[in-house]
Amino acid sequence: MKNQKHRENQTIYFKNKPVIIGNYTIVGPKEGEGPFSDYFDYIMKKDDFGEKTYEMAERKMIEHAVIGAINSAKLTPNQIDMFLAGDLLNQIISSSYAARQFDMTYIGVFGACSTMAESLALGATFVDAGHFNNVACATVSHFSTAERQFRYPLELGNQRPPTAQWTVTGSGCTILSNSGIGPRVTMATFGKVSDYGVCDVNNMGAAMAPAAMNTLIAHFKDTKTTPEDYDLIVTGDLGKLGVEILIDLMEENGFKLGINYCDCGQIIYDRSQSVLMGGSGCGCSASILNSYILQKMREGVYNKVLFVATGALLSTLSCQQGDSIPGIAHAVVIENEVK
């Protein structure tokens, strides 16, 4: 580890600091029973959201989140110049089919569960450069679609090993603008792919923790900050085991993650909800960011947040062919303007 090179240019700075003028979160019934139920904008009564298939429900969720976020920004859809989104399904069909509904240019991204940070970082780049005035950044995941695509048929009722996480049924959307009032995206640190050889698809936290470490260290070095400089450092969905691994890895590298650090996967469900290591899926960090975190930033509880979404870049086929699981983490810094 000691000789690992961290180039000083993983972080980019936004001169014009794009403003978060709107955000929205929609979640499933199980997420609605968790500790953040009061913060979510919409809790679905049923997992199928009135659709014939779970995939169509997932698609409807991201459409709902985008419209909700645009409304919360007091804009109309035709004022949004670009839609940046991705999801976990093969060929990111939830995002791409949702994009059919919108008269906006569309950039499809794939970063697995790092998608919320990836789309925010790209969206902020476009707004900051003056190319677009308003962009919508979104992602979605659904327990039932992820389970049957990546793991087992739902009907099988398979047991889950203790290191497993529960894919969050949730979608979050953030509207970034070149003007307005609200928290601002001030910088982004792009991640590199890290692979420490973890092959257990039921232990995503372990696969993603090294990527989170690399991006965090790059961020602190690039920006000459320390963990104490943030009111909140929040990772995406490492889950309880992944969090322990990350804290250890950071400590080995001389960075102490203290009580200002938490992980969305660790906190999104209650201990009583039988989710083992916690939540996962790109909707996990998207749901917490676009509800609780941004609300607390608007209330002034948090003024400087480091949001680090982590993704495991595997496919069922890569695992079947014996490959280990590469991870990636992208980070964005969201700050309130200092008065």
Residues that bind its own copies (CB under 8 A): 5, 7, 9-10, 12, 52-53, 55-56, 78, 81-82, 86, 88-93, 96-97, 99-100, 102-112, 118, 122, 125-126, 128-129, 131-132, 149, 190-195, 313-318, 321, 323, 326, 328
Smallest distance from its own copies to CB 308, Å: 14
Q: Is the dihedral of CA 302, 272, 37, 99 positive or negative?
A: positive
Nearer to its own copies, 40 or 126 (CB): 126
DSSP 8-state class, residue 337: P
Distance, CA of 245 to CA of 167 (rounded, Å) = 20
Smallest distance from its own copies to CB 251, Å: 24
Smallest distance from its own copies to CB 314, Å: 7
Alpha-carbon distance values, 214 to 7, 102, 143 (Å): 11, 36, 28
Nearer to its own copies, 90 or 159 (CB): 90
Smallest distance from its own copies to CB 286, Å: 17
Smallest distance from its own copies to CB 303, Å: 25
Nearer to its own copies, 4 or 274 (CB): 4
Nearer to its own copies, 129 or 181 (CB): 129
Q: Which residues of 226-259 are buried (b: 16+ CB within 10 A; e: fewer)?
A: ebeebbbbbbbbbbbbbbbbbbebbeebebebee
* Token duo for residue 141: 């995941």
Nearer to its own copies, 73 or 313 (CB): 313
Alpha-carbon distance values, 183 to 293, 299, 304 (Å): 11, 10, 9
Residues β-bridged to residue 141: 170
